[in-house]
Amino acid sequence: MMSGHYSFTSCFAPFIESMITEKRNAGFQYEHAEWILHKFDEFCNQEQVETPVITQELAGKWGTLRKTETKVTLAGRISVLRQLSLYMQAYGIKCYIPRNFTRKSNRSAYVLSIEEIQSLFLEIDSYQPTINAEVFHRLALEYRILFRVLFCCGLRVSEARKLRLDTVDLENGVLKIYQSKGSNDRLVYLPDDLRQLCCEYLKIMTVKYKIKSEWFFPASDPAKVLQVASVGKRFHRAWEQTPYAREGALQPTVHSLRHTFVVLRMNEWMKSGVKLDNMMPYLSKYLGHSSPDDTFYYYHQVEEAFSIIKQKDQSASFVIPEVADEK
């Protein structure tokens, strides 16, 4: 049986074909997922699976981490199999629903809404230190810029806080990220309004506060860089002041700004009718992922966070697991 670019020949072929057709009729490109399903189809033929039922044993074999892949890539493969299991369940075929094969936090990823982002930055910008000392006012300024860089550029926390002056090209609006996770050096471009804000920030740091440091975001001791714990503490302090903070409810982390950047970018592409499959290699390189498969992890796992998907597929109700922390 043929579907798009691939031929499906296993006992699951009719269900795979039908699910792909339904997804595309609903407006999804589903090209990368089709490739994963093609690999699953080949896998089932190799395992000589004759009965079209996804068992725990079969899911376990498929969910084994391969030598050439990351845990994030594995999570993407498992997510597609989960979709197939749920699809077959809807047709009365009792299938095992794969869940946690990788060691990830049990917390769900938090993707902030536009209203939450606005409220968060209102608190960040309005914060006034309780101790009226120059160093604390200077740090308050730094955090206003740091959190904007995280949100507007989708950087990892460690990448943003460890920016050096010689890696920040404000004339051309370019951040040079060296020795990031996976040893993927890359260039990240600043939005022009953020570039201008960074120029003003640097002027204040050098003229008003007389800071001479190799770091773009120096700690209270200018010779040192901001610590990740300090960044997290300041983020949570601001979040707790918003009307969206509820005791006992799921709370965002600093890394949620990166999640939100990715989801909003994908959502805009989908609303504009841009094929995610075509954009993933570029977004993957921009984010510093080792491969587009790692970036597709977001696509598979945060489906219900996309407003455009909610409009097209009201039945989508996937749990959103946490992307492994990148500190």
Q: What is the pLDDT along the chain (327 residues), one digit of tens a residue?
A: 545 578 999 999 999 999 998 877 766 667 888 889 999 999 999 999 999 999 999 999 999 888 877 777 888 889 899 989 989 988 899 999 887 544 444 445 688 889 999 999 999 999 999 999 999 999 999 999 999 999 999 999 999 999 999 999 999 999 999 866 655 688 999 999 999 999 999 999 999 999 999 999 999 999 999 999 999 999 999 999 999 998 767 789 999 999 889 888 887 887 787 777 778 788 888 888 776 666 766 655 554 444 443 443 332 222 222 333 444
> Which of 91, 288, 327, 310 lies closest to 186 in space, CA to CA?
288
pLDDT the model gives residue 263: 83
Distance CA 276, CA 8 (A): 23
**Domain 114-240 coded CATH 1.10.443.10:** yes
Name the one residue in this structure whose structure tokens are 């700690």: 219
Q: Is 112 exposed, middle or buried (0-12, 13-18, 19+ CB in 10 A)?
A: buried
> Are 35 and 321 contacting, i.e. CB atoms less than 8 angstroms apart?
no
Distances (CA, A) of 160 to 58, 60, 66: 42, 38, 31
Q: Please give the structure tokens belonging to residue 240.
A: 């707790």
pLDDT the model gives residue 231: 97
pLDDT the model gives residue 312: 37
> Are 322 and 107 contacting, i.e. CB atoms less than 8 angstroms apart?
yes
Distances (CA, A) of 318 to 262, 302, 303, 308: 18, 8, 7, 15
Q: Please give the structure tokens belonging to residue 284.
A: 């993957």
The distance in angstroms from the start CA to the end CA of the chain is: 45
CA 262 to chain centre: 5
pLDDT the model gives residue 313: 35
